[in-house]
Amino acid sequence: MINILIKSLEIDIAYAVNSFIYILRKMPIFKDLFTDDVYNSKIIKKIVGFFGIIISISRAIFLKFIYFFVIYFITYKLFPNDMVKAFFHIYFILTILGMFINNKLLNTSKKKYFSIVLFNMNANEFFRMNIFWNLLTSTILNSIIIYIFVDKLLISPTIFYTIIFIILSLNVRLIGETLNILYFKKYKYIWYTNSSLYFPILIVLLGLCFLPYINIFVPIKIIELTTLITIPLAAASIIYLLNIKNYRQMYKRLVEMTDVMNEKNEKDYLKQAMVEVKEKDKKIDTSILEKKSGYDLFNTIFFERHKEILLRSAKKYAIIALIVYCILGYLMINYSNYNKSIAELLHIKLSIFIMIMFFINRGAIITQAMFFNCDHAMLRFNFYREPQVILELFKKRLTTVVKVNLIPAIIIGIGNIILLNISTNNYSLLTYITTFLFIICLSIFFSVHYLVIYYLLQPFDKDMQVKKASYSFVTLITYIITYMLTKLVLTSEILSILGIVFVLLYIVISLRIVYKVSPRTFKLN
Amino acid sequence: MKLEIINLCKTYGEKEVLKNINFTFEEGKIYGLLGRNGVGKTTFFNSLNGDITINEGKFYLENEYGRNRLNTQDIGYVVSTPIVPEFLTGREFLQFYLDINKQKINDLKDIDYYFDLVKLNKNDQNILLKEYSHGMKNKIQILVNIIANPKVILLDEPLTSLDIVVQEEMKNLLRKIKENHIIIISTHILELATDLCDEIVVLNNKKLELIEKNNLNTKKYKDKIIKTLKDESND
């Protein structure tokens, strides 16, 4: 196994050094400095290799440092009075999140393809080496950084929590990898390529990070207990991972790998997979289509084929929202402190729903699906680029997207009304109405917004890579403004009225612009 | 040595691609696998290589010592689009490959011997694979599959995009190594198949069919192959 590790690292270093020299040779200053034989020069490669190793170690430390610093900064800024509790809370939730999304063993990469298929390495040894190396490096890094943050900055001089977090991180990594493989063996695909599973988990766990807003923290005892409970599970995971005999077959079953290699860029593949038409959506109930014709039929077929990422996904969000509201309702009825803080959140910090509605809106993904599974091909035909066709389809799409996104929005809106009603405070009818309408308006706003920027900026190239800087800029600005607006502390009545007016204005103006400009802007880049 | 395929079935959703395929390939022969576009030639190779889950079927290698299940280590698979680590030089790539596999390779030779085998000169050995032409990448890909000395070599459209000189070099190389191997080449080019291959197999109506030559001249043999391929579309 050590030989495989050494060879693997040697290949990594040679690859990185050559890539670096290749880039240098493209620069005018260095162009003449290196001859064609440079890749054969041992001295140059040793020097570059040495610096390369230093840089990659520093980079790994820096990235880990940034990760912890962001958590630290958030706790420092948002929860200055409960820094330790908030830091532990967020780090704990993110560690659990890492268990789900930070799986390294089964993700596809060029390195794995080269090692197993081209270099014909023993796959079992390669994977065991990977487990060992990943855990070793991440544990060393975690130890240094966690020590700096937890021990030095927070609760000096105890080292107890440093050790707790190092063990917890290690445990959840092992358990996460094992669960990932078990899932793959049962369902023949990696769970996180299924966006309807991935996004709800991501959103719920990220949402839980913000519980300190309403004074809810994961108790330290729970963190300690989780660490303790996960020790035997992690031990069982190690035994399981080390005893898998068919890593090669398992990895080869990831047929995607070959596609990834052919596609050149694995990210492209992930993006495609995300908007891929699911098998169960390929057959459409023909009775839905019977009375439709033309672009109405075209649009219906598109959305029927994308039920998984749009309709079913929206329904799942609605169900999750329903569960969350039931829990919150239960807490409010039975615990007076929750009753107070949740009611306060709905009345004074309703702005937080701007972020929630931003995250649950399916607009971004559906525009990707529109491009990749439809417009990418159709825009090559002249008839599809006719202004009246563009606008007709835009209207139909907008109606459908708005309707679908309204499903979870209505649940959230009604949920808010019920929670306000459960609250011991007395609210006016205006509060109920405006709070409900605010959520509905937000949902419509994000539906319109994504479709409008898709039609105005037509951002993707044929490989689904975001191409135009303007699109990236607009999405970034949307995110920043959304985030900043969550800071607003206004009563729900004022916020809702302002919000509703803004959203109505935005819709009217943006739709006018789309009607005017999109026949020119909606084309292939 | 024989490669036996027993009752291979593969479906994609409801579409049946390979149906109850039973066929035996023999050592010392180059087989040309022909079939219309989308008929399932690559699926057939991927099934043998264990890259996809098959619905049914077993593969065996039989030699004088007995009959064993076909193992992925027994197969060398040259895919149609050569995929190589672009930021290694040809020499580095081959050196790493030899280092990693030295215990598995019988009669290990010096690295230069292997480069001579595919006629790759010194200068080309020391440039990045990224800068290799499609043909050169293909040579490297075929080379590592030959060095590993697998019993079965599958080549998916290997010579289609090569220039005439390299095509001839590769053909000669394949003829040279065919004695101890079972070589199956999928191709669209009938001339290549009839020129290089000892046997022509058509993937027809989801099954493999050997096209017997039976003393036919090349023209009549080609007509027979085309007729078989056309029959497929009428089915």
CA pair distance A380, A390, nearest whole angstrom: 13
The tokens of A347 are what?
Answer: 């009345």
Q: Is A253 helix (H, G, I), strand (E, B) or coil?
A: coil
Q: Which amino acid is at B125?
A: Q
Nearest by CB to residue A19, choosing from B79, B83, B87, is B87
More confident residue, A283 or A452: A452
Task: Collect all residues from A whose CB is shorter than 8 A from any CB in B.
Answer: 4, 7, 10-11, 14-16, 18-19, 22, 36-37, 39-40, 110, 113-114, 118-121, 188, 248-249, 252-253, 255, 258, 261-262, 279, 282
Q: Which whole-number Å values give the CA distances from B39 to A181, A229, B207, in the listed order?
A: 33, 53, 10
* pLDDT, averaged across chain B: 86
The model's confidence at residue A482, banded by pLDDT at 50, 70 and 90, is: confident
More confident residue, A247 or A167: A167
Give contacts of B126 with chain A, Cβ < 8 Å: 36-37, 39-40
CA pair distance A283, A509, nearest whole angstrom: 39
**Yes or no, beta carbons of A120 and B97 under 8 Å apart:** yes
Average pLDDT score over residue span A299-306? 84
Instruction: Give me the pLDDT at residue A413, please.
Output: 93
Average pLDDT score over residue span B56-61? 93
The model's confidence at residue A302, banded by pLDDT at 50, 70 and 90, is: confident
- Smallest CA–CA distance from A22 into chain B, residue: B87
CA pair distance A272, A264, nearest whole angstrom: 13
CA distance B85 to chain A (A): 7
Nearest by CB to residue A22, choosing from B87, B92, B101, is B87
pLDDT at A118 over 70: yes
The model's confidence at residue A154, banded by pLDDT at 50, 70 and 90, is: low
Lowest-pLDDT range of A256-265, A296-305, A420-429: A256-265
pLDDT tens digit sequence for B153-167: 999 888 877 788 888
- Smallest CA–CA distance from B47 into chain A, residue: A253
Instruction: Give me the pLDDT at residue A457, please.
Output: 83
**Yes or no, beta carbons of A18 and B126 under 8 Å apart:** no
| A178: nearest Cα among A126, A235, A225 | A235
Lowest-pLDDT range of A6-20, A31-45, A463-477, B134-148: A463-477
More confident residue, A54 or A32: A54
Mutate to test the interface with B, among A4, A11, A36, A281 (most CBs of B within 10 A): A11
**Yes or no, beta carbons of B50 and A252 under 8 Å apart:** yes
- The count of C-alpha atoms lying within 13 angstroms of the C-alpha of A51, restricted to the half-sphere facing its C-beta, is 9
Average pLDDT score over residue span A47-60? 85
- Yes or no: say if B57 and B218 are a contact pair by the CB < 8 Å rule: no
- Yes or no: say if A217 and A75 are a contact pair by the CB < 8 Å rule: no
pLDDT at A60 over 60: yes
Give contacts of A4 with chain B, Cβ < 8 Å: 100
**Yes or no, beta carbons of A118 and B52 under 8 Å apart:** no
* pLDDT, averaged across chain A: 82
pLDDT tens digit sequence for A367-391: 888 887 788 777 777 778 788 888 8
Over the range A366-393, which residues count as b (16 or more CB within 10 Å of their CB) and which as e? Answer: bbbbbbbbbbbebbeeeebeeeebbbbb
Backbone angles phi, psi at B19, to 5 degrees: -130, 120
**Yes or no, beta carbons of B126 and A11 under 8 Å apart:** no
pLDDT at A35 over 50: yes
Average pLDDT score over residue span B96-116? 87
Burial class (CB in 10 A: 0-12, 13-18, 19+), A91: buried
The model's confidence at residue A155, banded by pLDDT at 50, 70 and 90, is: low
Instruction: Give me the pLDDT at residue A279, please.
Output: 67
Give contacts of A248 with chain B, Cβ < 8 Å: 72
Instruction: Give me the pLDDT at residue A178, please.
Output: 93
Instruction: Give me the pLDDT at residue A224, please.
Output: 92
Mutate to test the interface with B, among A13, A20, A40 (most CBs of B within 10 A): A40
CA distance B199 to chain A (A): 28
More confident residue, A516 or B60: B60
pLDDT at A461 over 70: no
- Smallest CA–CA distance from A21 into chain B, residue: B87
What whole-number percentage of chain A has pLDDT above 70? 90
CA distance A368 to chain B (A): 25
Domains in chain B and their CATH numbers?
Answer: 2-234 (3.40.50.300)
Instruction: Give me the pLDDT at residue B183, please.
Output: 95
Beta bridge partners of B61: B3, B68
Q: At what angle do helices A42-78 and A83-101 cross, to 10 degrees?
A: 130
Give contacts of A262 with chain B, Cβ < 8 Å: 81, 83
**Yes or no, beta carbons of A120 and B104 under 8 Å apart:** yes
pLDDT at A360 over 90: no
Which positions 67-106 of B are in contact with A (Cβ < 8 Å)?
Answer: 72, 79, 81, 83-85, 87-89, 91-92, 96-97, 99-101, 104
CA pair distance B137, B90, nearest whole angstrom: 9
Which positions 125-184 of B are in contact with A (Cβ < 8 Å)?
Answer: 126-128, 130, 144, 148
Average pLDDT score over residue span B105-119? 87
Burial class (CB in 10 A: 0-12, 13-18, 19+), A323: exposed
The model's confidence at residue B235, banded by pLDDT at 50, 70 and 90, is: very low
pLDDT at A260 over 50: no
The answer to whether B234 faces chain A, any CB pair under 8 Å, is no
Give contacts of A36 with chain B, Cβ < 8 Å: 123, 126-127
Instruction: Give me the pLDDT at residue A267, please.
Output: 45
Is ipTM beyond 0.90? no
The answer to whether B38 faces chain A, any CB pair under 8 Å, is no
Lowest-pLDDT range of A88-92, A222-226, B213-217: B213-217
Instruction: Give me the pLDDT at residue A258, please.
Output: 45
Instruction: Give me the pLDDT at residue A238, please.
Output: 92
Nearest by CB to residue A261, choosing from B83, B126, B128, is B83
Average pLDDT score over residue span A3-20? 85
CA pair distance A219, A214, nearest whole angstrom: 14
**Yes or no, beta carbons of A258 and B85 under 8 Å apart:** no
Burial class (CB in 10 A: 0-12, 13-18, 19+), A130: buried
Give contacts of A261 with chain B, Cβ < 8 Å: 83
pLDDT at A24 over 90: no
Instruction: Give me the pLDDT at residue A270, please.
Output: 46
- Smallest CA–CA distance from B144 into chain A, residue: A118
The model's confidence at residue A469, banded by pLDDT at 50, 70 and 90, is: low
CA distance B145 to chain A (A): 9
**Yes or no, beta carbons of B88 and A18 under 8 Å apart:** yes
Lowest-pLDDT range of A249-263, A508-522, B22-36: A249-263
Nearest by CB to residue B51, choosing from A16, A40, A255, is A255
pLDDT at A192 over 70: yes
- Smallest CA–CA distance from A252 into chain B, residue: B51
The model's confidence at residue A412, banded by pLDDT at 50, 70 and 90, is: very high
Give contacts of A263 with chain B, Cβ < 8 Å: none
CA pair distance B84, B142, nearest whole angstrom: 11
Give contacts of B79 with chain A, Cβ < 8 Å: 258
Nearest by CB to residue A39, choosing from B52, B127, B148, is B127
The answer to whether B13 faces chain A, any CB pair under 8 Å, is yes
Instruction: Give me the pLDDT at residue A463, please.
Output: 54
pLDDT at B226 over 90: no
